[in-house]
């Protein structure tokens, strides 16, 4: 009988952020290795079925939002564990870790948690004067629960777990996220794809910089917006393109940028381009043609923006904090975090082709999964 791995994830395909991409390739390889997979995830889109079955893959969807998913998952998961053979449970931070740990304990199953990032005292910077304490206590609670192994996506996260929550090394495993090396090969972007994107954004007329991804406060976008007026005034040929993934702060950031566009002189405001959720291949074509990407993060566990941009050999302006130094390589300009002035200086360095030396790095998905598979086997054998 095939081993069965149950994944408990707040979001899964067709929902696409960063974490879904990580688990998509893990799950596909798990099935290819001869295991059966069951996914318990949120029913974020009412048009999606509550249950799907495709050969060795089953998907159950319950609860619309994270909190409702957390509670409803307890009951649904109990039914699954009662009625089906489950050999291993794999979950992820944050909300969905609670039902995973409690039910694994109740039914005597091995449970692995993927830890993307530890914020600890950083919550104080990102949340209001009372909310930060709630988030801090919630994170603390997660790591008081019982897990058989911790998969950390970077050495930074590994050490954070070790130092902040005293997770013992024998349970702690650092396995970097992988990058789709073939898809991120700039030489494989088709000419017609480049032409379509170039026409859409008028790339040929400007010196183009790009920000893409989340709008969360930890991504440093607030400081970037502050720096924009001076950048647009200093560089008359600069066009700044934003491509956002829908997120909680997305509406706020969109309004903030639109208000900025409305207050700037027309020749400057017209050089800020807002776009939302480009298709994967379109975003790749855009990245391959811009002159640089800015990702002024304030904290990162392992963010795909940095690794994907470097894999595509495009210059990157970013900060030297958290996991970023262990992820980036190639043409990098390091700036100080939370500093509009440093962003402005970073753009100047990029314009002058003055990069900081960083040794080459490769994060291969096949290598990543081989380590994940070894971890699965160790847990199954025990």
pLDDT of 103 reads: 84
Lowest mean pLDDT among 165-179, 220-234, 293-307: 293-307
Query: Is pLDDT of 261 > 70?
Result: yes
Contacts of 255 (CB under 8 A, 6+ apart): none
d(CA 279, CA 54): 25
d(CA 39, CA 53): 10
Query: Is pLDDT of 58 > 70?
Result: yes
User: Mapped to the 3 state alphabet, what secondary structure does 2-44 carry?
Assistant: CCEEEEECCCCCCCCCCHHHHHHHHHHHHHHCCCEEEEEECCC
pLDDT of 18 reads: 65
pLDDT band per the 50, 70, 90 thresholds, residue 131: confident
Nearest CA among 318, 355, 351 for reference residue 337: 318
Strand-pair partners of 241: 210, 273
Write out pLDDT tens, residues 187-204: 999 999 999 999 999 999
Query: Is pLDDT of 19 > 70?
Result: yes
pLDDT band per the 50, 70, 90 thresholds, residue 249: confident
pLDDT of 121 reads: 84
Q: Please name the helix (run of DSSP H) or strand (run of DSSP E) that holds residue 342, with its range, or none.
A: helix 340-351
Q: What percent of the chain stands above pLDDT 90?
A: 70
pLDDT of 132 reads: 86
Can you tell me the mean pLDDT for 67-86?
77
Write out pLDDT tens, residues 325-361: 999 999 999 999 999 999 999 999 999 999 998 988 9
pLDDT of 222 reads: 95
For the beta sheet containing 292-295, the strands, ordered from the edge strand earlier in sequence to the opposite edge, are 272-276, 238-244, 207-213, 292-295, 316-319, 332-335
d(CA 289, CA 300): 25
User: Mapped to the 3 state alphabet, what secondary structure does 219-285 carry?
Assistant: HCHHHHHHHHHHHHHHCCCEEEEEEECCCCCHHHHHHHHHHHHHHCCHHHHCCEEEEECCCHHHHHH
Q: Is the dihedral of CA 366, 370, 375, 377 positive or negative?
A: positive
pLDDT of 15 reads: 73
d(CA 80, CA 38): 9
Query: Is pLDDT of 125 > 90?
Result: no
Can you tell me the mean pLDDT for 153-163?
95
Query: Is pLDDT of 156 > 90?
Result: yes
pLDDT of 17 reads: 65
Nearest CA among 299, 302, 229, 216 for reference residue 22: 302
Lowest mean pLDDT among 18-32, 165-179, 271-285, 286-300: 18-32
Q: What tokens appear for 229 in the block?
A: 């007026």
* Contact (Cβ atoms closer than 8 angstroms) between residue 184 and residue 280: no
Its pTM stands at 0.91
Average pLDDT taken over every residue of the chain: 91
d(CA 287, CA 19): 20
Can you tell me the mean pLDDT for 123-142?
86
Contacts of 370 (CB under 8 A, 6+ apart): none
Write out pLDDT tens, residues 281-331: 999 999 999 999 999 999 998 878 999 999 999 999 999 999 999 999 999
């Amino acid at each position: 009988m095939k081993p069965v791995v149950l994944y408990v994830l707040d979001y899964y395909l067709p929902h696409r952020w960063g974490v879904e991409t990580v688990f998509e390739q893990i799950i596909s390889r798990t099935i290819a290795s001869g295991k059966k997979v069951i996914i318990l995830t949120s029913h974020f889109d009412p048009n999606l079925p509550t249950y799907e079955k495709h050969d060795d893959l089953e998907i159950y969807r319950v609860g619309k939002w994270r909190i409702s998913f957390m509670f409803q998952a307890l009951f649904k998961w109990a039914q699954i564990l009662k009625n089906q053979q489950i050999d291993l449970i794999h979950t992820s931070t944050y909300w969905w870790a609670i039902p995973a740990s409690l039910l694994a304990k109740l039914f005597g199953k091995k449970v692995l948690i993927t830890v993307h990032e530890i914020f600890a005292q950083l919550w104080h910077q990102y949340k209001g004067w009372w909310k930060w304490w709630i988030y801090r206590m919630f994170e603390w609670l997660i790591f008081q629960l019982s897990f058989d192994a911790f998969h950390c996506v970077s050495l930074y996260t590994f050490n954070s777990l070790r130092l902040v929550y005293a997770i013992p090394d024998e349970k702690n495993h650092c396995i970097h996220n992988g990058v789709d090396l073939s898809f991120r090969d700039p030489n494989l972007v088709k000419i017609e794809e480049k032409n379509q994107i170039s026409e859409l954004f008028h790339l040929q007329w400007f010196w183009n910089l790009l920000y893409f991804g989340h709008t969360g406060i930890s991504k440093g976008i607030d400081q970037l917006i502050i720096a924009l007026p001076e950048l647009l005034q200093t560089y008359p040929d600069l066009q700044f393109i934003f491509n956002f993934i829908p997120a909680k702060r997305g509406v706020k950031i969109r309004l903030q940028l639109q208000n900025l566009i409305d207050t700037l002189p027309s020749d400057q405001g017209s050089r800020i381009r807002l776009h939302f959720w480009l298709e994967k291949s379109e975003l790749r074509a855009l990245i391959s043609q811009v002159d640089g990407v800015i990702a002024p993060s304030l904290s990162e566990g392992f963010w795909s923006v940095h690794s994907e941009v470097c894999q595509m050999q495009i210059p990157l302006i970013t900060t030297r904090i958290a996991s970023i130094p262990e992820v980036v390589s190639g043409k990098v300009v390091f700036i100080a975090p939370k500093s509009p002035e440093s962003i402005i200086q970073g753009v100047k360095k990029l314009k002058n082709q003055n990069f900081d030396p960083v040794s080459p790095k490769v994060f291969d998905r096949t290598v990543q999964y081989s380590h994940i598979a070894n971890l699965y086997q160790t847990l199954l054998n025990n």
